[in-house]
Structure formats: structure tokens, C-alpha cells
Amino acid sequence: MTRRDHGCCYRCGIDQADVIADDPEASEHVLDHITPISEGGSATHMDNLGLLCTVCDQIKSKAEALRANQARRKAR
């Protein structure tokens, strides 16, 4: 995965090596399901997996949680 994505966040493009060089204590990029499984994304298909920096992961996770909460409210 890292090789395919060249170690870069698929949302903002920041290189993991640059993040670690700036702050050796920084977290590494995380593997992400581009389309969440809960929204119909594949759990294992390589086209649905990508690297995210921790900042983009936090932003994306909050947006996904908001969509899930809205969907639950509509289902009531």
C-alpha cells in the first residue's frame, strides 16, 4: 500500500517521510477505507484502500460519523 501510494496521503498529498522528518514523534499515516464499509465500500479491494495522514484521518472520521448520525436520525 505504501509503495502504491508512494507514502503520501491520498487526500492532501503530504509525504509520510516529511511528517516524520519534521517531527520524529509524529504518528505514521494510517490505512483507510476510502469508501467506508458501512457506506458500501469493500473491506478488502485494493481500490478502496489508501493512506491518510493523521490530520486527514481525523477530518474524514468526523465527517463519516456525522453522516452516520444523520442516517440514523432519518431512519427513525
What are 7-52's pLDDT values in tens digits? 899 999 999 999 989 898 999 999 999 999 989 999 999 999 999 9
State phi, psi for 20 to the nearest 5 degrees. Answer: -65, -35
Entry pTM = 0.84
Give the separation between CA 68 and CA 22, rounded to whole angstroms: 35
How confident is the model at residue 34, as a pLDDT? Answer: 95
DSSP state for residue 75 in the 8-state scheme: H
Q: Which three cell numbers stand for residue 30?
A: 494510517
3-state secondary structure of 20: helix
